[in-house]
Structure 1
Amino acid sequence: MTSTRSRQLLTAALGECSDDLLRYFLRRLDREDAADALADVMTTAWSRVDALPTAPTEARMWLFGIARNVLLHAQRGSSRRSRLADRLRSTLGQRTASSADHGVEIRDAIDRLDPDLAELVRLVHWDGFSLTDAADLLGIPASTARGRYQRAKETLRDVLAPTPR
């Protein structure tokens, strides 16, 4: 069980070190990521409050050790995202569309639907979900999804129907 004393020591340590920890992250990350990283340090420290050293200098070192681990984790994640984005760009660059505006008329028609209808159509036709699975994702009953899907189909049929000359 976490003692009141440990919580008080952590509160004091964070009060003393939080500005220094934020500067540590700001020198290494962009501003938004630095704030998130500091929040991660605080969350981790509170979850491990019983491991906090009692001496102020050691508590500071402990917090900076957590900060270093948070930073390393953030850098690994950024590196993985960057490599994945490079692979995706490469894969997508190898694919060629038959036409630059292929499907634009359909996308525009879907975009003009009510947002609930449009999302249902996208989930079913673009993302490959069944109507029941799409209903679950949207948090609506399957019967509601079926009714909305029918209404969306009718609207799209009317909008996309060739106009007589």
Structure 2
Amino acid sequence: MRREVSAELRAALRLNADDLLAYFERRVDPRDDAADLLAETMLQAWRRLADAPAEATPLRMWLFGIARNVLANQRRGRRRRLALAAKLRSQFTVPITASPEDAVTVRAAIDNLGPDQRDLVTLVHWDGFTVAEAAEVLGVNPSTARSRYAAAKQQLREALQPAESLCG
């Protein structure tokens, strides 16, 4: 039975591909996205093969239903990306209180860390991850990340302490 449904779905996709592509082309800009949406629709149809109706007309309607959901997901994702971009733009317009010299000094201290420590520190402080989350991103044990982070903080503390305290 599955082989028959698979053959029917394959035939339905061939028959309806041009119409599905036109459906997307009328609804998205740039039109280049339409082909990607069609591919996603076909992928979703194959994933939901067990739900595919057996008759031609209901199968066509089912494919267009999937296409509608794929388009809705694409639009939600686009809205989220635009909202995130707006949020990032607003964060970058916040005035910087550190002097350019301080920024250069901090950057140099971070650059002097070992690559593992540097990645960890930047994930935590620039990308907003917790140490445990950064450990997962880097593929290391959380306890390893905690010890690397502690060592990096100590190294940064020493590199950034004022010259006067070194003499005193």
Fold match (TM-score > 0.5): yes
Cα shift readout 1:118-164 (whole Å, capped 9, x = no counterpart): 1112234443634x5543442223554356446645765786686xx
Compute the displacement of 1:67 (Å). Answer: 1.0
Compute the displacement of 1:46 (Å). Answer: 2.2
Cα shift readout 1:14-49 (whole Å, capped 9, x = no counterpart): 223334433433441436643442233123212332
Paired residue for 2:95? Answer: 96
Give me the whole-angstrom Cα distance separating, in 1, the residues matched to 2:41 and 2:146: 47
Q: Counterparts of 1:32-51 in structure 2 under 5 Å? A: 33-51=33-51
Give me the whole-angstrom Cα distance separating, in 1, the residues matched to 2:57 and 2:129: 56
Residues 148-157 or 76-85, more deviating: 148-157
Secondary structure, counterpart of 1:7 in structure 2: helix
Asked if 1:71 corresponds to 2:71, the answer is: yes
Paired residue for 1:3? Answer: 2
Paired residue for 1:129? Answer: 130
- The alignment's TM-score, normalised by the length of structure 1, stands at 0.66
- The alignment's TM-score, normalised by the length of structure 2, stands at 0.65
Using the aligned pairs only, state the percent identity: 47
What do you get for the CA RMSD once the two structures are aligned?
3.7
Paired residue for 2:11? Answer: 12
Give me the whole-angstrom Cα distance separating, in 2, the residues matched to 1:139 and 1:51: 38
Compute the displacement of 1:10 (Å). Answer: 0.6
Give the partner amino acid of 2:8: L
Asked if 1:59 corresponds to 2:76, the answer is: no
Residues 12-21 or 105-114, more deviating: 105-114
Find runs of 4+ consecutive structure 1 residues off by over 6 angstroms.
Answer: none
Give me the whole-angstrom Cα distance separating, in 2, the residues matched to 1:81 and 1:61: 30
Give the partner amino acid of 1:123: L
Paired residue for 2:166? Answer: none
Question: Structure 1 residues 64 and 117 mapped into 2: Cα distance closer, same or farther (>3 Å)?
Answer: same
Compute the displacement of 1:98 (Å). Answer: 1.6
Give me the whole-angstrom Cα distance separating, in 1, the residues matched to 2:68 and 2:157: 57
Paired positions, count: 160
Cα shift readout 1:64-109 (whole Å, capped 9, x = no counterpart): 232122112322332343244335534653x322247352332244
Can you give the 5+ residue segments of structure 1 that lack an aligned partner in the other structure?
none
